[in-house]
Amino acid sequence: MNHVLVQDLRKSYRDKEAVRGVGFHVEAGEIFALLGPNGAGKTTTLEILEGFRQRDGGTVEVLGRDPGDRAHSGWLRRHVGLVLQDIAVEPYLTVRETIARNAGYYPAPRPVDEVVALTGLTEKSRTRVKDLSGGQKRRLDLALGIIGNPRLLFLDEPTTGFDPNARHGAWDVVRNLRDTGTSILLTTHYMDEAQALADRVAVIAAGRIVATGTPATIGGRDHALKRIRFTLPDGCSPDDLPVPVDVEADGTVTASVAEPTRVLHQLTGWALDRGLVLNGLTVEQPSLEDVYLGLTADHEAAPAPDTEKSPLSAAGHRSTR
């Protein structure tokens, strides 16, 4: 079952077509990452899925309902969680009071203390919101997104402002949500985050989906050339090496090959015969970031149109205007 279905989605602002035939789906119980540069149409697509914008064309279903149909808005609010970048909360309530208040908006919320612990806020549960750090406020945003025990969760840049330890802790929370049955649509500018969390990835550029796949295979990543890298030994020139290579100004040698085993054997055998050491020897597959940059390089990101993002209601949802 698809918890999100998008087919031929279109949206224009005046004479600019921001979303041009976008299509993808999010399966039940998976983490799906939608990646794209600023101005690519990602935010518009998400706001249509979240019910905050009307589309010009195409089909959109969220948990089998049309988010653009106001008749479904109440039902979707009860079953969909949002972790946005600009959630407005009462600054003088404590963390626990804020989460408990939002729990009252849902028919079957998760236990408040469970959510406080799950998001790493136990020690801050009696702290007023205004006294939280940026990373702690982001944890609170995550808590508010999951308190309703949603079937589907939209995560918009969930770890902005987190230190490395906090990021990994948040990743564990997201994986746990997936493992307990919540489907997750994630947006992030951190490629390592998408690599660590996503079951599947789509890249949007210039209003179109340009690639979809797993983090390991998207854009042909699994078939791309591997890079063997090391530092050129003292007294050697590139012509001395047994295989063709590129050498950077700092002496870093790169050999790009389809299958590295044979070339590694040639290089290490050559070095051993001469009593040399290949310092910094590594074999690298192109990273998800490399693939992402390659997929988006040919699509110049135009400035995003002024979409006048709506304010949030007390329940942590944007109110449509």
Q: What is the mean pLDDT of residues 145-153?
A: 95
Continuous segment of H or E residues that includes residue 96:
helix 95-103
What pLDDT does residue 135 have? 85
- Whether 303 shows a pLDDT value over 70: the answer reads no
* Residues of the chain above pLDDT 70, percent: 93
Average pLDDT over residues 71-84: 93
> Computed from CA positions of residues 97, 98, 100, 104, in that sequence, does the dihedral angle turn out positive or negative?
positive
Q: Look at residue 283 and tell me whether its pLDDT is greater than 80.
A: yes
pLDDT above 60 (res 311):
no
Instruction: Choose the weakest-confidence range: 5-9, 295-299, 307-311.
Output: 307-311
Average predicted confidence (pLDDT) for the chain: 90
Mean per-residue pLDDT, 279-307 = 79
Phi, psi dihedrals of residue 253, rounded to the nearest 5°: -100, 135
Which candidate, 113, 144, 141, 107, places its Cα nearest to that of 126? 113
Q: What is the structure's pLDDT at 71?
A: 96
Residue 298 has pLDDT above 90, yes or no: no
pLDDT given for residue 300 in this prediction? 56
CA distances for 177 relative to 121, 155, 159, 310, angstroms:
17, 12, 16, 28
pLDDT tens per residue, range 160-200: 878 888 889 889 989 999 998 999 999 999 999 999 999 99
Q: How does residue 304 score in pLDDT terms, banded at 50, 70 and 90?
A: very low
Residue 176: how many other CB atoms lie within 10 Å: 12
Question: Rounded to a whole number, what is the largest CA-CA distance in the chain?
Answer: 77
C-alpha torsion sign, points 7, 306, 78, 136: positive
Mean pLDDT, residues 109-132: 94
What is the per-residue pLDDT across 89-111, written as a single tens digit (0 to 9) for each?
899 999 999 999 999 999 999 99
CA nearest neighbour of 233 among 264, 268, 200: 268
What torsion, rounded to 10 degrees, do the Cα atoms 129, 135, 138, 140 define? -40
Q: For the chain, what are the domain ranges?
A: 2-220, 225-284
**Looking at the DSSP assignment, which residues form a beta bridge with residue 155?**
83, 186
Contact of 19 with 11, CB cutoff 8 Å: yes
pLDDT in tens, 231-267: 999 999 999 999 999 999 999 999 999 999 999 999 9
Whether the per-residue pLDDT at 308 is higher than 70: the answer is: no
Q: Report the run of H or E that residue 57 belongs to, with start and end.
A: strand 57-62
Confidence of residue 50 (pLDDT cuts 50, 70, 90): very high
Nearest CA to 256 out of 246, 270, 271 is that of 246
Band of the pLDDT at 116, cuts 50, 70, 90?
A: very high
What local confidence, expressed as pLDDT, does residue 301 receive?
47
More confident residue, 320 or 135: 135
How large is the average pLDDT for residues 14-39?
95
More reliable by pLDDT, 63 or 305 = 63
Query: If you search the block for the tokens 């050491």, which residue do you land on?
Result: 277
In whole angstroms, give the CA distance from residue 249 to residue 233. Answer: 14
Domain 2-220 class, CATH top level = alpha beta
Q: Is 212 helix (H, G, I), strand (E, B) or coil?
A: strand
pLDDT at residue 309, rounded to an integer: 42
